[in-house]
Structure 1
């Protein structure tokens, strides 16, 4: 069964929209959740825990390559604390490779920053339509190495996000 994932604009009623201005890169993908009623953080955890193996391979490759440039090994998207309850998460906590920057039932913003770039990822559900989910990414680069890094990441990101959504929502990718 085909699962529709649409490339859309970053939702204007989302918190992540507030940091969109001046970004080097942004995208957003929208879909109707196959499991309605989940809060935004649960959606992220469900998706991160089902990342395709080829994405983990790419993350491992990324970690080896960027170590030459002094960047950290960030691990895999699915490196989650299986013992942590959803209600225990607070702003500032690590959620896999990201830090939780904003937390509400209908949106989370996760982020990671280094001297080269800032990455923010949002999972946003529409108020009144909790089955409509948007996953948005906003990147601000600080220097040439950030732009060089994004040169390689952008094309892969455009494959990874829709594929990961389809896999997590129940369709093979």
Structure 2
């Protein structure tokens, strides 16, 4: 089965985990991609994607953390600093890398964080299918203070580029793993 390795931007549809967060949001973005095979879970998909974040992006996070901490924003750490596998007994309220788990369902996870300037929520959702499936990553941001708007000026366009890139990279990795398994 051939799977496209380009993510496409989509709306956060009614029924999506973050749809209830859309009213009053200042930024909303979603991208979806078809995968050759279904990941173990949405949480595992997030962990795999986070570990694939390019080093240059974590470099930007280091700069962000150093500068933003002076302005009252949290030091988040590195996006790639996640475990290889989801911790046993992972539950709402637990930290997973730079985010806190806000919701867990059979096919989705909502992760988020907030400070005095903004609240960000990210969902990873698996669509229907036993073998292949759709994977959607959505983000919704609510701003609390004017500095949040300034912060989002460079973040929003970068987010619109990096998320589809990461989804494409993940889809290619999943397809390669599927070929490796088939060759055995």
TM-score, with length taken from structure 2: 0.84
Greater than 3 Å deviation, 4+ residue runs:
84-87, 127-130
Which residue of 15, 19, 22 maps to 2:21?
19
State the shift of 1:85 in Å. Answer: 4.2
CA-atom RMSD, angstroms? Answer: 2.0
2:114 corresponds to = 113
Which residue of 53, 66, 70 maps to 1:64?
66
Which residue of 38, 47, 50 maps to 1:48?
50
Q: Any conservation in 1 of the 2:65–2:74 contact (CA below 8 Å)?
A: yes
Q: Any conservation in 1 of the 2:117–2:144 contact (CA below 8 Å)?
A: yes
1:148 corresponds to = 150
2:82 corresponds to = 80
In the alignment, the residues of structure 1 paired with residue 36 and residue 128 of structure 2 have an alpha-carbon distance, to the nearest angstrom, of 17
The runs of 5 or more residues in structure 2 that have no matched partner are 174-184
State the shift of 1:133 in Å. Answer: 1.1
State the shift of 1:15 in Å. Answer: 1.9
State the shift of 1:95 in Å. Answer: 0.7
- Residue 37 to residue 76, structure 1, CA distance change in 2 (3 Å): closer
Deviations, residues 97-152 of structure 1 (Å, cap 9, x unaligned): 00000001211100001111100000112244761111000000011011111112
2:100 corresponds to = 99
1:122 corresponds to = 123
State the shift of 1:79 in Å. Answer: 1.1
In the alignment, the residues of structure 2 paired with residue 128 and residue 35 of structure 1 have an alpha-carbon distance, to the nearest angstrom, of 9
State the shift of 1:168 in Å. Answer: 2.3
2:159 corresponds to = 157
State the shift of 1:21 in Å. Answer: 1.1
In the alignment, the residues of structure 1 paired with residue 38 and residue 142 of structure 2 have an alpha-carbon distance, to the nearest angstrom, of 32
Which residue of 14, 35, 38 maps to 2:37?
35
TM-score, with length taken from structure 1: 0.89
Bigger Rg, which one: 2
Q: Any conservation in 2 of the 1:52–1:167 contact (CA below 8 Å)?
A: no
